């Protein structure tokens, strides 16, 4: 059952040769959102992969595209995630209509407040821990999650170096969703890892 931006938010590894198998495993483990992130493949290859991943996610999880608004539209994705160097929110909304728009706000609550005012559907903060994907990303604090939950009405996502072992502090602080790349898709047993993340949310909410 798809409820929105919450729980485990899996982000694919760039140019993963086993992407379909790995996404299936993440979905089987309970991931509620899958983001297709691919910075190196050709446009044609990305469209084929995105179309397939959309089919895999149908009825199981939200399917989000990273950065590429045109690809999100072509693949009939559920939404788009934008960073500071990507398309602006207004253009994304014009192209995608009522689809989900999420934005990276790094460690700045002011960016998130402005994004919410501009009509985004969720905001993401991070990195919270050492990240191999973006080692130079701005450092965010757990207290930022607490502040964000007090001042924002849209879902709050945490990203950056998150593992099963350190995610608990973010979930306890009230984050709606944890986004992971290597912390999920670089693990030897993706399904079991996804289940472990989901169990953290279940434990907090019971």
Q: What is the mean pLDDT for each group of 10 consecutive residues in the chain (206 residues)?
A: 83 96 98 95 95 97 96 97 84 96 96 95 94 78 96 97 96 97 97 98 78
Fold of 7-204: TIM Barrel (3.20.20)
- Residues with Cβ within 8 Å of 17's Cβ and at least 6 positions away in sequence, in order, are none
- Positions annotated as catalytic residues are 37, 104, 134
**Rounded to an integer, what distance in angstroms lies between the CA atom of residue 67 and that of residue 27?**
22
For residue 2, the model assigns a pLDDT of 56
Full-prediction pTM beyond 0.75? yes
For residue 101, the model assigns a pLDDT of 97
For residue 203, the model assigns a pLDDT of 84
For residue 131, the model assigns a pLDDT of 74
For residue 1, the model assigns a pLDDT of 42
Q: Which whole-number Å values give the CA distances from 173 to 97, 141, 144, in the listed order?
A: 32, 11, 9
Say if CB 112 and CB 148 are below 8 A apart. Answer: yes
| Segment (H or E) for 38 | none
Give the count of beta carbons closer than 10 Å to the beta carbon of residue 99. Answer: 19
For residue 134, the model assigns a pLDDT of 72
For residue 132, the model assigns a pLDDT of 74
User: In a 3-state reduction of DSSP, which class is residue 184?
Assistant: helix
């Amino acid at each position: 059952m798809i409820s929105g931006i919450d729980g485990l938010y899996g982000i694919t590894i760039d140019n993963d040769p086993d992407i379909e198998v790995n996404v299936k495993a993440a979905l089987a483990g309970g991931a509620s959102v899958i983001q297709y992130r691919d910075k190196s493949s050709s446009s044609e290859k990305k469209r084929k992969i995105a179309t397939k991943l959309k089919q895999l996610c149908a009825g199981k999880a939200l399917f989000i595209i990273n950065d590429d608004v045109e690809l999100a539209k072509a693949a009939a994705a559920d939404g788009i995630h934008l960073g500071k160097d990507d398309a602006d929110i207004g253009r994304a909304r014009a192209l995608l209509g009522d689809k989900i728009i999420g934005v990276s706000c790094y460690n700045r609550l002011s960016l998130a407040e402005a994004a919410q005012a501009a009509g985004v559907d969720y905001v993401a903060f991070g990195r919270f821990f050492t990240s191999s994907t973006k080692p130079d990303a701005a450092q965010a604090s757990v207290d930022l999650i607490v502040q964000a939950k007090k001042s924002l009405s849209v879902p709050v996502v945490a990203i950056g170096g998150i593992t099963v072992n350190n995610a608990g502090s973010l979930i306890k602080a009230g984050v709606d969703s944890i986004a992971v790349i290597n912390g999920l898709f670089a693990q030897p047993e993706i399904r079991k890892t996804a289940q472990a993340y989901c169990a953290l949310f279940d434990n907090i909410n019971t």
